[in-house]
Structure 1
Amino acid sequence: MTRLVLLLAISALTAFGGMEAHAQLQLPGATAPTPRGGVAPSSAPSHRGGGVSSANRGPAGPPPRRGEETLPGRTLRFLGQQGSMVITRGGTPAQPVFTIAATGVGRRGNDIRSMCTPDLNAGQVVTLTPLGRPEGLSRFEASFPGCTMVIDLLSDAAIVSAPGGACRFSDDCQVDPTGLWGPVDREMPPEAEVERARGAADRRLNAARRTLQQRLRTTPEGRTFLSEQAGFGANRERVCRNYGTTDAGLGYCALKYTEARAAALEARVAATPETQTSRRHRN
């Protein structure tokens, strides 16, 4: 009888030691059993809809590096497909001078089949005029013969607008450079990297949006801001649907516009004073 009790005790101790060893060998990221025998929620990001799960939310983190530091020398394509834009940095570190050479993509008249690809300024570089950072990103103006472009620099792409409308050239070629100029498909970052960056950009955007909503809630601009922000997602999808030639292009383009929007809202937060009402509501 004593021998049987001793064997049972040894078996119990062996089983308990095995459980401890199993707990110690559990790999990082593996799911652990809950007290009720269920599975604890995973902290891995959700890939559904390209979003980030609430369990993976963290600090917004620093904004990406400035485009004037990272863009010079890169070849950017209109919608990641056609044309070319190359920005070059010269001068001194204290007083840099930026130039640009670009090839546009357009059409002659109303015939969409009659494509034209003019070298802006006959292929010669044009000096960029700095316009500061009115919406958080470094902004420059490029004045080509027959074409003026305003360029906001991101870390690896540029958002271009044409204040005077489509550019017109002597051979009846019309070029509308408005949109995102960036890398072609094979040069885009991996989708996992784009997703992580998108999560950080979304957190920056939402933090600035909440602050602005609070500060503008009792001002005439408050309703306009809410309407503007509500339409951002749809506008982003509209301008990005033709970026690149694969499904990855939409995600990359959406990231760039989200980063630009986050920078614009952060700049607006810095320029918008905190009111007594917002301080009371926050407290």
Structure 2
Amino acid sequence: MPASAPFVALLALFAAGSASGQPLELPGAQFNLPPLSVPELPAPQAPDAPTAPTAPAGPQPIDPAAPSPPAGATAPAPQADVTQLTLRRDAREGELRLSRADGGLAATLTLEGRGVTDAQEICRVTIADEAAGGVRLEPVPSLGRYARYRLAAPACPVVLTLFSDAALVAHEGFCTFEAADCRVDPNGMWGPEPEALPTDPERIARDRAEADEDVRAAYRMMTERSDGDALRAVLAEQAGFSAERVTACARFAGEEAHGLCAARFTQARAALLQQRLGFLPPPAAAGAETDAAPGAAPLSILPQDN
């Protein structure tokens, strides 16, 4: 077959999908697209058998020499298994399915976006690997008590922070699929549609209240430890947090009834702050190097660009 045949075949697949109204399936050909320029992520840890938590794990061991964590920092009780749910961006669009495969995790991700040449055209792209049961998820350093994974798809290597009933998806800007003439924004909170939410709204409200207190306590401690420009930066970050949360959850379906997005967003921020303060260091994998890279910082829970 001529060298250009795979590319022609991919275009033919896209044309057929467009004609039938079905999303473009990219079971492997999408991995041949030139990877986007994204920040280098910390080297993945290599646990013996990474699995999706049925609920966030308990707090990690703390160095006895470290200061005590803020009062009220507790792990939520088990509520659901995220691998049993179909997650959608803002609980409205796209589709994210997680599964256990080969002792780890895999994902099938459908993204909705707009055409590159015609922004008025709506397009859909599916990143899948049916033979393997999904595209491999590579473990990366956790966010405190929350497991994190990177999708092994160079065309759109999103990072997922997993909760028991949702996933916070982050990527540096948009993902562009030239062969499909499609640009998508995967960033945001992905959760089940309101009628499929397995978690009791009262439990979600308690999670949010606990996380709110953790965030306030962490910012208080950070202000006490800072001065000058560093203090001004902490105060600005604290002042902007509520606005960030409102923006992140403005379109989340059913948010006014259950508050899932705000609760999980706040839990992620609390974990990030506690990690910055040294209360929740990522656990070292068995047999992994214990020395952290100088100046290594936790991954951001928010997209850097939109």
The TM tier, using the shorter chain, reads 0.5 to 0.7
Cα pair 2:76 2:207 within 8 Å, conserved: no
Measure how far apart 1:246 and its partner are: 6.1
Measure how far apart 1:220 and its partner are: 4.8
Structure 1 residues 76 and 263: CA distance shift in structure 2, 3 A:
same
The structure having more radius of gyration, on CA atoms, is: 1
Candidates 110, 133, 136, aligned match of 1:127: 136
Q: 2:142 aligns to what SS in structure 1?
A: coil
Counterparts of 2:97 and 2:261, CA distance in 1: 19
Measure how far apart 1:245 and its partner are: 5.2
Candidates 62, 87, 110, aligned match of 1:76: 87
Greater shift after overlay, 230-239 or 153-162?
153-162
Q: Deviations over 1:67-124 (max 9, x none)?
A: 9x94223221111012111222345xxxx41211111111223756522222113656
Counterparts of 1:245 and 1:117, CA distance in 2: 24
Q: Report the counterpart of residue 248 of structure 1 in structure 2.
A: 257
Structure 1 residues 125 and 185: CA distance shift in structure 2, 3 A:
same
Counterparts of 2:134 and 2:125, CA distance in 1: 14
Measure how far apart 1:141 and its partner are: 0.9
Q: 1:223 aligns to what SS in structure 2?
A: helix
Counterparts of 2:134 and 2:223, CA distance in 1: 43
Q: Report the counterpart of residue 185 of structure 2 in structure 1.
A: 176
Q: 1:228 aligns to what SS in structure 2?
A: helix
Counterparts of 1:210 and 1:198, CA distance in 2: 18
CA RMSD of aligned residues (A): 2.8
Q: After superposition, where does 1:54-203 map in structure 2 within 5 Å?
A: 60=72, 62-64=74-76, 70-91=81-102, 96-109=103-116, 111=118, 113-121=120-128, 125-134=134-143, 137-144=146-153, 146-163=155-172, 165-188=174-197, 189-203=199-213
Q: Report the counterpart of residue 266 of structure 1 in structure 2.
A: 274
Counterparts of 1:187 and 1:121, CA distance in 2: 23
Cα pair 1:136 1:264 within 8 Å, conserved: no
Greater shift after overlay, 220-229 or 235-244?
220-229
Counterparts of 2:275 and 2:81, CA distance in 1: 21
Counterparts of 1:268 and 1:97, CA distance in 2: 28
Q: Report the counterpart of residue 33 of structure 1 in structure 2.
A: none
Counterparts of 1:71 and 1:79, CA distance in 2: 16
- The higher-RCO structure (CA 8 Å, 6+ apart) is 2
Q: Report the counterpart of residue 212 of structure 1 in structure 2.
A: 222
- Note the residue ranges of structure 1 that are not aligned, 5 or more in a row: 1-58, 273-283
Measure how far apart 1:264 and its partner are: 0.8
Q: 2:234 aligns to what SS in structure 1?
A: helix
Counterparts of 1:112 and 1:202, CA distance in 2: 39
Counterparts of 1:202 and 1:263, CA distance in 2: 11
Counterparts of 1:110 and 1:103, CA distance in 2: 20
Counterparts of 2:174 and 2:144, CA distance in 1: 21
Structure 1 residues 196 and 246: CA distance shift in structure 2, 3 A:
closer
Identity of aligned residues (%): 30
Structure 1 residues 267 and 246: CA distance shift in structure 2, 3 A:
closer
Counterparts of 1:196 and 1:66, CA distance in 2: 13
Q: After superposition, where does 1:221-236 map in structure 2 within 5 Å?
A: 221-236=230-245
With the length of structure 1 as denominator, give the TM-score of the two structures. Answer: 0.64
The AA in structure 2 aligned to 1:115 is I
Counterparts of 1:232 and 1:254, CA distance in 2: 11
- Note the residue ranges of structure 2 that are not aligned, 5 or more in a row: 1-70, 281-306
More helix by share: 1
